[in-house]
Amino acid sequence: MDSFDELLIKKYLHIDKEISKLYEYKNKLKEVFYSQNMATHLVYDAHGVHSEGFRQDIKVINYLESLDIVEERINRYRIRKNYFKEFICSLSDDEKEKLSLKCLNKIPPFLFERIIGEIREIETAINFRYGIEPENFDVVLTENMNVNVERMCDFFAI
């Protein structure tokens, strides 16, 4: 069992937490945007005292684009959740019981490979749906620590 695969399974088993984190982030974006001063005001900086106004043309567009990006990520996680839930429902009761154990080391290798295969199919489907080039899932660790860190960074940027 690969440690990256274990992390991926854990991420899918706790996908509701990821969705709630994204909703919290979306609310934080809203809070930060509406808590800023949107009126013209005086500012003292290196250029001296001058008036500064709220730039609707920049800040509103950036805010709306940020909300769209977060909403798109939420939608992708919902799709992952729905597909994974369908997969879990297709498992036998015995397999569901083995998967519900907190320790992934106790999952039989055939079930582990089946779960990883399904997750890879889900990721490929999402990539095709959104027009993203599918990723290569063959992650092999080497003796070079810099290469391993780079691969880990690529892995966590789902």
To the nearest whole number, what is the mean pLDDT of the chain? 85
H helix intervals, the chain:
3-13, 15-35, 56-90, 93-100, 109-129, 145-156
pLDDT at 145: 77
State pLDDT tens for residues 52-99: 888 888 889 999 999 999 999 999 999 999 999 999 999 888 888 777
Q: Is 99 in contact with 115 (CB distance < 8 Å)?
A: yes
Stretch 114-127: mean pLDDT, rounded? 91
One-letter amino acid at 58 equals I
CA distance 26 to 99: 32
What is the predicted pLDDT for the residue at 137?
56
**Model pTM greater than 0.75?**
no
Spell out the domain ranges in the chain. Answer: 3-156
State how far the Cα of 54 lies from the Cα of 36, in Å rounded to an integer. 9
pLDDT at site 158 = 46
The whole-angstrom separation of Cα 109 and Cα 122 is 20
C-beta of residue 15 within 8 angstroms of C-beta of residue 81: yes
- Asked if 22 contacts 73 with a C-beta cutoff of 8 angstroms, the reply is yes
Model confidence at 138, pLDDT cuts 50, 70, 90, reads low
Query: Which neighbouring-strand residues pair with 41?
Result: 52
Q: In the structure, what pLDDT confidence band is assigned to residue 141 with cuts at 50, 70 and 90?
A: low
